[in-house]
Amino acid sequence: MVSCKSNTKLFKEAVGIKEYLKAKGIYIVFDSDNQTKEIKIQEIKTLNF
């Protein structure tokens, strides 16, 4: 979600937001490799962030 050092306040906030969205079943998908939305979401759901 956010690339920064793991000991910063921004990183901690980003992790908190990511976990909140994940718990709600909300996924933010960026089209960077021309995959369909469904394939990309399934790919994200199988990853353990």
How confident is the model over 3-32, as pLDDT tens digits?
A: 556 777 877 887 888 888 888 888 776 666
Residue that has been written with the tokens 């394939």 in this structure: 39
Please give the helix or strand (H or E) that residue 27 lies within, else none: none
Q: Measured between alpha carbons, how far is 10 from 30 in angstroms, rounded to an integer?
A: 21
Task: Give pLDDT, residue 48.
Answer: 58
Residue 14 DSSP label: H
CA 13-28-5 angle, to 5 degrees, is 35
pTM summary value: 0.47
Q: In this model, does residue 49 exceed pLDDT 60?
A: no
**pLDDT value at residue 41:** 74
Query: Distance (Å, rounded) from C-alpha 35 to C-alpha 23?
Result: 24
pLDDT surpassing 60 at residue 42: yes
